[in-house]
């Protein structure tokens, strides 16, 4: 009898003259089990959903990567992890030999065809490794369903031999001779003063001059032929021989948009231009003229202003102040790159403390997001970024609708598509937890914060209304429970 009684709480047992009356005869173990079953709230299986545009690009380098000569092999070891996380493209630095030899980051191009196999400028390998290591990296990337994007520097050259230029009378400090003995050991695309500005065609083109004395003239047929028109051109060597899948065009302000248009028409592949400009309309004009995607510097600067400089999230709601708002299918968004993270740009970058909020923004909004190697491989960010990529590739679907944008709070809903519930992003830059009543498209649903920053599970009513919260100086990302 005692053993029997132990199975019941005293509240359910009444003893009268040795007779046992049992009410609601349930064991305490069963109570706990039943309570667990009725209150368990599970996330959706996100593998069943597709965002509007799956995939994220990785900038697979930073300025002055180390160790010298081993970068390609370093990146190759990361590819399986990146692919599993949802990365579908990587952007590599300019592969050709630069004037700075083993110290070159590729932005002082001397020999486009020497990708680590000719001895010149004091080295055989580039800073990143050998040609064999580059081709091995590209092959491994393809095995992991990752495309590889080459950085292409077309505006200027460096590292040639000294040469008199009759179009620069009295100026002997011109280094425009590129041949086997002068910075072009491959012997392909040898150049002279006629291929730079000024020349017999014109003094300069209509675009900005980056390195004036060795500013390539793309109106010279010889230059066009060697860069993209010949069967053995730079473009075809990179694509058909090395295996690159697309292009990141460096400093496109230094040559006409038609250069990109013609290059892409000849060799194809994904392309994005670096038009270093914070004006969204300027970026759109270049996209319209070139047909290429562009890095959304306007979005980058608005995030920097909203999170750091002005500390005012209402900036994010201003009309058409980002390329992604005007032309989302051509906007490549980012929050850091090899230039913005340099020491001299400390006052012109998104601060470390605010980076995850910025990441949450670009990985939930439209546009094609790019992650920066040093951010993704940071142990403090990596798992959060992996989770954000999963959310991006699954729930970031439907129209973008801003529900609230004030100084400290920004709430945005992706309205979802057929069968995809979408999401709500809530950013809070205040010092205390924030909450706000919103009307969603989810009626009579229990919600979960898929960013794992808030543990509460609010429910919507018949009208879709509920109160959402976000932690201080952080964010939450809401969608429906299973």
The total number of structural domains that make up the chain: 3
Closest Cα to residue 250, out of 281, 280, 225, 276?
A: 276
Distance in angstroms (rounded) separating the CA atoms of residues 373 and 108: 22
Question: Looking at the domain assignment, is residue 163 inside a domain?
Answer: yes
Question: Looking at the domain assignment, is residue 377 inside a domain?
Answer: yes
35-64: pLDDT as tens digits = 344 458 999 999 999 999 889 999 999 999
Q: Are residues 314 and 458 in the same domain?
A: no
Question: Looking at the domain assignment, is residue 287 inside a domain?
Answer: yes
Catalytic residue among 76, 108, 262, 274: 274
Average per-residue pLDDT for the chain: 92
Bind-site residues for Ca(2+): 215, 225, 231
Work out the percent of the chain whose per-residue pLDDT is above 90. 86
pLDDT of residue 208: 76
Q: Are residues 138 and 123 in the same domain?
A: yes
Band of residue 347 on the pLDDT scale cut at 50, 70, 90: confident
> Half-sphere exposure (CA, 13 Å, Cβ side) for 153?
24
Average pLDDT estimate for 17-46: 52
Question: Looking at the domain assignment, is residue 207 inside a domain?
Answer: yes
Q: Are residues 22 and 162 in the same domain?
A: no
204-215: pLDDT as tens digits = 887 877 788 899
CATH number at residue 422: 2.60.40.1180
346 against 197, higher pLDDT: 197
Residue 338 has pLDDT above 80, yes or no: yes
Give the DSSP letter string of 203-225.
S--SS--SSGGGBB-TTSHHHHI
Q: Of the ranges 156-160, 167-171, 407-411, which one carries the lowest mean pLDDT score?
A: 167-171
Question: Looking at the domain assignment, is residue 48 inside a domain?
Answer: no
Distance in angstroms (rounded) separating the CA atoms of residues 203 and 197: 6
pTM, full prediction? 0.90
Q: Are residues 154 and 287 in the same domain?
A: yes
Bind-site residues: 215, 225, 231
3 state DSSP class of 26: coil
Inter-residue contact 185 to 273 (CB < 8 Å): no
Q: Are residues 111 and 85 in the same domain?
A: yes
Q: Are residues 343 and 411 in the same domain?
A: no
**Angstrom distances, CA of residue 357 to CA of 384, 391, 406, 423:** 11, 14, 16, 16
Q: Are residues 83 and 218 in the same domain?
A: yes
pLDDT of residue 128: 98
Interacting residues of 336 by C-beta distance below 8 A, sequence separation 6+: 349, 350, 355, 372, 374, 375
Residue 10 has pLDDT above 60, yes or no: no
**Judging by DSSP bridges, how do beta strands 447-449 and 474-480 pair with one another?**
antiparallel
Catalytic residue among 250, 296, 366, 409: 250
Residue 279 has pLDDT above 90, yes or no: yes
Question: Looking at the domain assignment, is residue 339 inside a domain?
Answer: yes
Active site residue 250: yes
Look up the domain containing 20 and give its range: 2-39
Looking only at Cα atoms, what is the longest distance across the chain? Answer: 123
Active site residue 274: yes
Q: Are residues 370 and 415 in the same domain?
A: no
H-state helical runs in 194-272: 221-224, 234-236, 257-267
């Amino acid at each position: 009898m005692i053993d029997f009684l132990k199975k019941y709480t005293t509240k359910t047992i009444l003893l009268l003259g040795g007779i046992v009356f049992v009410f609601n005869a349930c064991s305490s173990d069963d109570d706990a089990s039943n309570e667990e079953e009725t209150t368990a709230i599970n996330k959706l299986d996100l593998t069943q959903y597709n965002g509007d545009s799956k995939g994220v690009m990785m900038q697979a380098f930073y300025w002055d990567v180390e160790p010298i000569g081993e970068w390609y092999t370093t990146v190759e070891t990361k590819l399986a992890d990146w692919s599993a996380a949802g990365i579908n493209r990587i952007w590599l630095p300019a592969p050709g030999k630069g004037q700075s030899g083993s110290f070159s980051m590729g932005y002082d191009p001397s020999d486009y065809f020497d990708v680590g196999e000719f001895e010149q400028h004091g080295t055989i390998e580039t800073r990143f490794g050998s040609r064999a290591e580059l081709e091995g990296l590209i092959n491994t990337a393809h095995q992991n369903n990752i495309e590889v994007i080459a950085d292409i520097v077309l505006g200027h050259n460096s590292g040639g031999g000294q040469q008199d230029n009759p179009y620069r009378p009295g100026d002997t400090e011109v280094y425009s001779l590129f041949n086997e003995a002068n910075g072009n050991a491959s012997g392909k695309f040898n150049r002279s003063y006629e291929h730079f500005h000024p020349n017999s065609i014109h003094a300069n083109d209509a675009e900005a001059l980056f390195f004036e004395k060795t500013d390539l003239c793309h109106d010279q047929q010889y230059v066009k032929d060697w860069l993209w028109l010949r069967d053995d051109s730079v473009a075809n060597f990179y694509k058909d021989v090395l295996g690159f899948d697309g292009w990141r065009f460096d400093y496109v302000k230094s040559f006409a948009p038609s250069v990109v248009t013609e290059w892409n028409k000849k060799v194809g592949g994904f392309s994005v231009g670096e038009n270093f400009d914070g004006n969204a309309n300027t970026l759109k004009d270049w996209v319209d003229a070139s047909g290429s995607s562009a890095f959304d510097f306007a979005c980058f600067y608005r995030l920097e202003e909203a999170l750091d400089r002005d500390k005012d999230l209402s900036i994010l709601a201003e009309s058409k102040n980002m390329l992604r708002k005007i032309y989302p299918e051509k906007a490549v968004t980012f929050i850091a790159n090899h230039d913005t993270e340099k020491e001299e740009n400390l006052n012109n970058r998104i601060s470390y403390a605010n980076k995850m909020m910025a990441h949450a923004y670009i990985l939930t909004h439209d546009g094609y997001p790019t992650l920066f190697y040093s951010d993704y491989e940071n142990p403090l960010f990596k798992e959060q970024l992996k989770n954000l990529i999963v959310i991006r590739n699954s729930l970031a679907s439907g129209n973008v609708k801003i529900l609230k944008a004030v100084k400290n709070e920004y709430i945005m809903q992706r309205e979802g598509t057929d069968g995809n519930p979408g999401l709500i992003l809530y950013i809070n830059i205040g010092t205390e937890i924030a909450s706000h009543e919103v009307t969603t498209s989810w009626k009579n649903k229990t919600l979960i914060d898929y960013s794992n920053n808030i543990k509460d599970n609010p429910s919507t009513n018949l009208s879709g209304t509920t109160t959402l919260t976000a932690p201080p100086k952080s964010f939450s990302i809401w969608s429906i429970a299973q």
